[in-house]
Amino acid sequence: MPTPGEVPWDIVEHTAAKHDIYQRYLERWFPILLTGKEKWYPSVTYAEGFAGPGIYKTGERGSPVIALQAFIDKVPPTKGASRFLFIDDDPRCVALLREQLAPVIEKTTRTEETMPVEVVEGTCESQLEKQLTVMDAWGKPIFAMLDSWGNAPIPYQLLRRLAGNVSSEVMITFLPQHFVRFVTKLGDSADDVFGGDRRWREVAKLPDGPSKYRHLLDCYRQALSQAGFQYLLGFELVPRTGQSLYLLFGTNHPLGVKKMKDTLWEVDKSFGIGFRDPRDDQDETLFELSEPQVAPLGRLLLPTIIKAGESGCRVNDLVDFTLFETAFRKEHIIPTISMLRDQGKIETDRPGRIVYGTFVRVPQP
């Protein structure tokens, strides 16, 4: 559905932080895939199913311009090629986006063969998969930015095909209230959004907004996992005022998770945005303008330590869970274990310094 109101629109706080994440990650993604030492590809594709006008009311760049510039800045003209596909169903956005991209394309020494750019009017549902076929993108890495804010369905079949495509990743964005409204409005037809899983419907029975959002996010994570994305990273952008925004990142390579987490924790704090792991039921912010808060990781790790029983587990055994099931990085584990020990919630096999080989367990009676 075309955007209601004027085009372009004002940028909001979490959008600015989100674009900082996009830029930092893409500046890693393009070089790794096109110039990497271990494995590289002759070409990749960056695609957006909800591209927007490429600029905001006060002049900030939109994600299509950011993506194009990241490729130009980080990949030498003699190294590899990247296709760019931008889709939007609002003709005003399409026309303005073409205007915004034109000077970026004109300034580069890249040829049309090594940097083809297509802007297509239409919906993500009807056009994205088809246009990727037209551009001969399948069989090579694709990064798909699916930023609908939850106002339009992302076809599950598209997610399955992207998950099965070589070295491909997705970033999915939705605004919680819009997403709740969207799935409840669709009724039975929303089952396909969740890969046919009907558990999302339980949202109607939940008492408040946070529990509804957490339930839908859990259901959607499960749908992405069933679609074929082996590694999923979810995090919540929390502005000083207004509604939070969820980002879900799906990949099949652990390096993708690591690089996305590096990106998240490097985001410019001047935006005033906090980050949360949305599965932490106490909704504690991971970081705002100071040091990261590790209490949420402690709450997420404690059940795993309890499950290990009397014999306990090594700190190193908690690395994969932290990397692939939370928004935290490996270097946050030891400070978290130290905090849990100081609080008396766990004990270690020896006093003093905690290392990755340290055994931890819950206190024994």
Model confidence pLDDT, tens digit, residues 125-149? 999 999 999 999 999 999 999 988 7
Q: Are residues 103 and 137 in the same domain?
A: yes
Residue 203 has pLDDT above 50, yes or no: yes
Token pair in block for residue 105: 């394309």
Asked whether the predicted pLDDT for residue 315 surpasses 90, the reply is yes
State whether 321 and 185 are in the same domain. Answer: no
DSSP letter at 231 equals E
State whether 225 and 170 are in the same domain.
yes
For residue 93, is it within any domain?
Answer: yes
The domain that holds 308 is classified in CATH as 1.10.10
Q: Which residues, other chains included, contact 160 with Cβ-Cβ below 8 Å and sequence gap of 6+?
A: 227, 228
pLDDT tens-digit series, residues 89-113? 999 999 999 999 999 999 999 999 9
Q: What is the CATH number of the domain that holds 259?
A: 3.40.50.150
DSSP, collapsed to helix, strand or coil, labels residue 32 as helix
Q: Is residue 5 over pLDDT 60? A: yes
Q: Are 160 and 66 in a shared domain?
A: yes
Q: Which residues contact 247 (CB under 8 A, 6 or more apart)?
A: 18, 21, 171, 172, 173, 234, 235, 236, 237
Pair 324, 236 in one domain: no
Residue 7, domain member (yes or no):
no
Same domain, 42 and 132: yes
Do 155 and 219 lie in one domain? The reply is yes
| Contact (Cβ atoms closer than 8 angstroms) between residue 271 and residue 235 | no
> Does residue 290 form part of some domain?
no
**Is 286 contained in some domain?**
no
Q: Is residue 345 part of a domain?
A: yes
Q: Confirm whether 45 is domain-assigned.
A: yes
Both 270 and 126 in a single domain? yes
Q: Quick one: 301 and 241 in the same domain?
A: no
Do residue 234 and residue 144 come from a single domain?
A: yes
In the predicted structure, residue 348 carries a pLDDT above the cut 90: yes
Domain count of the chain? 2
Q: Do the domain assignments include residue 5?
A: no
Q: How far apart are CA 82 and CA 44, in angstroms?
A: 5
Shared-domain flag, residues 320 and 200: no
Mean pLDDT across 217-221: 89
For residues 61 and 209, membership in a common domain is answered with yes
Structural domain harbouring 351: 295-361
